[in-house]
Amino acid sequence: MNDQVTISPTTLSIHLAINGRDHALEIEPRVTLLDALRDRLHLTGTKKGCDQGQCGACTVHVDGERVLACLTLAAQVEGREITTIEGLADQDGTLNAVQAAFLEQDAFQCGYCTPGQIMSAVACIREGHAGSDEEIREYMAGNLCRCGAYPNIVAAVRQAARELRS
């Protein structure tokens, strides 16, 4: 704690490409991608569980790779392609195979960790880490679920991986 610290009111003008759309933002450099999404752009599908990079609820894709939005500053991802849960289904509303499998397998209860689980699962399959239940468990272990939907999440990822392969 240091009361000599002065807090700079400087703001940045940045553009973020989210789900194929351009968003202009005037934000302080310290604003995380997670808070930019939720508080500024009202894309609240990405969840804040811990804000410390420990739970995975805020998982989004940056250039196709899963990242934790709470440990990423918004200004860091200007010019990168960001995908959130809101951008996963097709334009016509057709669900991504992972979303459909989560519904069918009842891979969630309260739904709060679910967007992060689904974003992780899409990446997990794309990374080639859904070859066995064992592998799915390991590569989905960064996304906590307190309702305990894990066995159903494994079933959903297994099912979606199979569908996406065929």
Binding residues (CB under 8 A) for another protein: these are: 1, 3, 5, 7, 9, 28, 30-31, 35, 38-39, 42-52, 54-55, 57, 84-86, 88-89, 95, 99, 102-104, 106, 108-115, 118, 136-138, 140-154
Please say which residue, 77 or 83, places its beta carbon nearer to another protein: 83
With respect to another protein, which residue has the nearer C-beta, 31 or 77?
A: 31
CB of 129 to another protein, least distance (A): 12
Take residue 92 and report the two structure tokens written for it.
Answer: 């016509």
Minimum distance from residue 102 beta carbon to another protein (Å): 5
Give least dist CB 128 to another protein, A. Answer: 18
Phi, psi (rounded to 5 degrees) for 21: -120, 150
Cβ distance to another protein smaller for residue 84 or 159: 84
Outline where the chain has alpha helix (H): 33-35, 97-104, 114-126, 133-139, 150-165
Q: Which residues contact 59 (CB under 8 A, 6 or more apart)?
A: 46, 66, 67, 68, 69, 115, 116, 117, 119, 120, 123, 142, 143
Question: Shortest distance, CB of residue 30 to another protein, whole angstroms?
Answer: 5
Q: Provide CB contacts within 8 A for 3, sequence distance 6+.
A: none
d(CA 16, CA 145): 29
Residue with Cβ nearer another protein (74 or 77)? 74
